[in-house]
Every structure is written in structure tokens, then in C-alpha cells.
Structure 1
Amino acid sequence: MPIEPRDFDTLYAAGTRYAEPGNGYRILLQEDRGWLSLPTGRVVAAEPAVLGADTDRYAFAQTVPPGRYPVVLTIAEYRQSPAPDADVVDERVAAARLVIRDEPVTGWEMALPPGRHAEALGDDEFYGYPVDGGTGCFVDPGSTPLLDDDEEMRDLSMDIADRPTSVTVLEGPDGEPILAAFTTGWGDGSYPTWVGRSASGEIACFLTDFGILEV
């Protein structure tokens, strides 16, 4: 069986504290927000470095109405002790959520490329995107022709490194946010994206889990 979705709303609830013996405590209480334009309503979650003319093949089968949507990061703070004023020793992005509807999620499913089926996966397998540079993003494949400026992409990488727990937004010529980027948990690896659906069955969000919390 492929991996099962976790209870993300509980796992990543603001203010939740997890003891980490020998390594301080993990405290989920911060969020950073940016915006992303989806002109076609298709969604790609990927490392920015792989985006190009063939980005269509990375787009998920699940689509949403075209529009501009918020991207929200959940940040894990690592503190020396559970005391409220304990020093923060590290911060990491635990999850990135592209919010389509501000409604409670009642069910999760794996975000899948067209023609792929979760039933074809083996034990503990998942469809995810590989990361080799510690960075991920959400983007509409219809916007990727605007991302062919190498200097602009280098500047994006520098901006992400300068603000590793923030959403870094790249704007197109018309000022629309065409890419929302962020660091990926502990860095390199492969990360699944999940689709959260509301009680009515509509897509409420896409969420990429970076595996910070192994609980």
C-alpha cells in the first residue's frame, strides 16, 4: 500500500509542541504567507531548477478554477527547552500549503500526475518531487515560459537563501505572482504533495509535507 496521508491539520496546528529528547523541542507556531497566480488552474509542485518547456508533464491531474491563491508555510521552531522564552536554535519549513478554499479539509488524497494512480504504488511508496537544491515551489505550468531568465532565477535562489523560512514570490511582467518558492524542510529529498478536499468534495488546498515531524 502507498503511504497514507497524515492528519495534517492536527499535526501542523499552530502552537503544537513536540518533545525531541536530546535536541530541544519542536514548536509549530509560525506561518508565512505569499500569493500565487494560477492562470490555467493547473498546479505544479517542483524544484524551481527543473522548470522549463516541459513543465506540463509535472502538472497534477487535480485542477482548480483559475485565480490568485495564498501560499502558507508552517514553520518548525527548535528551542533549547519548553520554556516560553527559550532560545530558538533553528527554524525549518515543515509544510507548504496552497490554499484554494478557506474551508476545513475532511479528506486527503495524493496529488497525482495525469494517468498515474495511487493503486499502482507499492508499500510505502508515493508520487513526489525530488529536490537536489533544498528548494521547492508551487507554479502554474502556463507561467513557466516567463521563467527563462537565468539571471532572474539566480536572484530568486539568493532571495530564498536570505529568507529561508519565508515565501519568496517571483512576479511576472504584469506584476502577477507567477511562482511561490520556499526551502524544503531538512533540504534535499523527495516530497509528496496532497490534495485536501472539503465536505462538499471541492479542492480546499494542496499541501507538500517535508517530513519534519516523524510522529
Structure 2
Amino acid sequence: MQDASTVANASPEWSALLEAVFAMGKRLGVRSSDAFRPVDVVEVSVVASIRLPSGRLMVDTPWPEGRPGRELAERIPPGTYDVEASWVEAPYEFMGESFDGRECAAVRLLVRNEPVSVWEMALGVEDDVEQIVAGDEIGFETDTAMGAFADACGWQALTEPFRQFWERHEQLPGVAIDRETEKLRSGEFEMVTHHASQADLLTFPAEEGVTAVWIGRTAAGEVAAVAVAPYLSWLA
């Protein structure tokens, strides 16, 4: 039988990047599409705090894509947790104009204020470790470039604004429709609160296709953070 942690452990290069991307002022490297464009971390800040009353964490797209949400196999203590984001800039010019190339590079749910000793890909409750091959990306899949952290007990209710938006959009194509969510950071993030379950959902930018989800563990093996870093795959 395979050992899940051995199969899913981050490489030394990825481990270093997952630490560096949340270090203000750190130079991460260069864009893979432009070796002369350095990528620097220019902001690291808390976007919001979310309530996870069951300790069962969902990390998936909130959009209706014909499948249940992806719940992590790892449990965390029930509570309220900060979600921190990192922004990078890689300035460039195009057709005589200058752009800062600012993008949200990574987000992480802060579980414990302790150093991360090892990073590993986060298994879902439905994942079979026997089917995982070393080097595979383990995470959620979406074609909407949006992911979310949320409590599993309120997932159905917390994602309802996205289902309603989708249904109205299908019924009224071309009509501008707003989502019943709280927009944060100029709409880069969206938050949904479900009062009955006392749970929250927070969206974040993700990749189209598979977005890997990482767990950072302390030296004692406890969960310190859960991170998603889609931008790092664009680095050389």
C-alpha cells in the first residue's frame, strides 16, 4: 500500500515557493513566457475571516458543475480562520503602454500560527491513494477560474447564490444579473454567509483545469495552513 504523504509531498522547489509567495518583497523568479520579467511579491494581507463550525473543509469551485463539492479528508478544529492572500507584480509594456502585471498569486487558510515543516497535496474524502501517481496534481477541477474555502456542513446553502445566478443567466441570456454575494477587494473575492449553520464561504481566483490544494503541516504533523497557489505554475 502506498503512503499518501510520500506520494503527495511537495518537491523542495515547490515547498520553497509555497513559503516565498507569502513573504512580502520576495522575488519568486520570472514568468515562463518572458525570462526578462521578474515576479515580485508586493502585498500579503488578510482578505477575510471565515467560520468553519464543523471543521470539515471544502476547497472547490462554488459553481454548479454537475458534481458534489470536494471535501478534504483532513479535519481541522472547528473555529474561525483568517484567509490570507498574496499579490505579485511583473511589470511589462504592450503597444507603448506600461502595466504593473498585478495578480493574486496564492491564498491560504491560516489554521495555526506555527511554521510549516512540510507541504503535501490535500487528499479529498473520495480520493484513492492507490490510484495516485507521484507527480500528479491533486485538487479540484473547474472551467470558471474560481475556487472557494467553505464549511462542508453549509456547502449546499453557501453555494446557492452561484446556482441561482447560473439559472437566471440561462433563462435571461445577455441580461446583466448580479450575484447575491459580498464583493471584497473590488470583486476579486466574494463572500457568502449562512446564518442558520453559522458558516461562511470565500471565493478566490483559481486556474481553469486542475488547481492543486496544499496542506502545510507543523513539525508535530498538525495542519498549519491550507493553500492554493495557481500563479506559481506560470513561473520559469
Q: Does 1:24 align with 2:37?
A: yes
Match of 1:183 in 2: 205
Give the C-alpha shift of residue 207 in structure 1.
0.8
| Superposition pairs of residues 167-182 of structure 1, within 5 angstroms | 167-173=189-195, 178-182=200-204
Q: TM-score, normalised by structure 1?
A: 0.79
Q: In 2, Cα distance between the equivalents of 1:100 and 1:127?
A: 20
Match of 1:140 in 2: 151
Q: In 2, Cα distance between the equivalents of 1:145 and 1:52?
A: 13
When residues 4 and 107 of structure 1 are mapped into structure 2, their CA distance, relative to the original with a 3 A threshold, is closer
Q: Does 1:122 align with 2:148?
A: no
What is the root-mean-square deviation in Å for CA atoms of aligned residues?
3.2
Match of 2:3 in 1: none
Give the C-alpha shift of residue 173 in structure 1.
3.1
Aligned 8 A contact 1:132 1:189 in 2:
yes
Overall identity of the aligned pairs, in % = 23
Q: In 2, Cα distance between the equivalents of 1:214 and 1:2?
A: 23
Q: TM-score, normalised by structure 2?
A: 0.73
Match of 1:9 in 2: 19
Q: In 2, Cα distance between the equivalents of 1:199 and 1:124?
A: 23
| Unmatched 5+ stretches in structure 2 | 1-5, 167-177
When residues 202 and 27 of structure 1 are mapped into structure 2, their CA distance, relative to the original with a 3 A threshold, is same
When residues 118 and 27 of structure 1 are mapped into structure 2, their CA distance, relative to the original with a 3 A threshold, is farther
Match of 1:61 in 2: 73
Match of 2:172 in 1: none
- What are the Cα deviations for residues 147-187 of structure 1, in whole angstroms up to 9, with x where unaligned? 324457851679479432xx432222369561011112xx4
1:38 aligned to 31, 37, 52, which one?
52
Aligned 8 A contact 1:52 1:145 in 2:
no
Match of 1:84 in 2: none
When residues 126 and 116 of structure 1 are mapped into structure 2, their CA distance, relative to the original with a 3 A threshold, is same
Aligned 8 A contact 2:147 2:203 in 1:
yes
Give the C-alpha shift of residue 123 in structure 1.
4.7
What is the DSSP-based 3-state SS (H/G/I as helix, E as strand, rest coil) of the residue aligned with 2:116?
coil
Task: Give the counterpart letter for 1:16 in structure 2.
Answer: K
Task: Give the counterpart letter for 1:201 in structure 2.
Answer: G
Q: In 1, Cα distance between the equivalents of 2:44 and 2:229?
A: 15
Give the C-alpha shift of residue 43 in structure 1.
0.8
When residues 180 and 200 of structure 1 are mapped into structure 2, their CA distance, relative to the original with a 3 A threshold, is same
Match of 2:113 in 1: 102
Count of aligned pairs between the two proteins: 204
